[in-house]
Amino acid sequence: MAGDIFKPRRRLLADPLLLVACGFGSGLAPLAPGTFGSLAAAALYLLLLEDLPAMLLWSGLAVALLLGILLCDRAATRLGEEDPACIVWDEWVGCWMALALVPNDWQWQLTAIMLFRLLDILKPWPISYLDRMHGGVGIMLDDVLAGLFAGGLLSTLALFI
């Protein structure tokens, strides 16, 4: 039956832990779930987080990172995979960190998202080293470092432009 192909997705969306880990459904895209997750994260950032005071924003990002380690670890265990593609909470936090470091200007923000995705996909060293770590730490830290590299590189560039 055609409806049977949606059963696994319904299971993911019905479980609160998996719902959050899968980026509220953005990680269920059949192609490029990390990119769709990053785009959903960017939209949320631009709507709700962009204008927060820096202290509040970075405190929230630290909480999102720490809770994300536990969240992603438990979600991966429930799904029975080391780093399931549908888990995109790590992309959400990495993308938010990249965006938090660049000027509030659409060109810088778009470039930050694209550079973050490029670094997350290519995984140059030391991102590749963190990607080999197991559990929630490994799932989260490579994306966080990709976000920090993307945002840090662009914010440094912005100083000279």
| DSSP-assigned letters across all residues of the chain | -GGGGGHHHHHHHHSHHHHHHTGGGGGG-SS-HHHHHHHHHHHHIIIIITTS-HHHHHHHHHHHHHHHHHHHHHHHHHHTSSS-TT--HHHHHHHHHHHHHS-SSHHHHHHHHHHHHHHHHH--TTHHHHHTS-HHHHHHHHHHHHHHHHHHHHHHHHHH-
Task: Report if residue 19 sits inside a domain.
Answer: no
Task: Report if residue 92 sits inside a domain.
Answer: yes
Q: Residues 90-146: pLDDT tens digits? A: 999 999 999 999 999 999 999 999 999 999 999 999 999 998 999 999 999 999 999
Residue 4 has pLDDT above 60, yes or no: no
**How many domains is the chain partitioned into structurally?**
1
Give the residue with greater pLDDT, 125 vs 11. Answer: 125
Task: Report if residue 23 sits inside a domain.
Answer: no
Task: Report if residue 79 sits inside a domain.
Answer: yes
Task: Report if residue 88 sits inside a domain.
Answer: yes
Domain range for 132 is 33-160
Predicted local confidence at residue 77, as pLDDT: 95
Residue 161 has pLDDT above 90, yes or no: no
Q: Residues 27-57: pLDDT tens digits? A: 999 999 999 999 999 999 999 999 999 999 9
Task: Report if residue 149 sits inside a domain.
Answer: yes
Say what the pTM is: 0.92
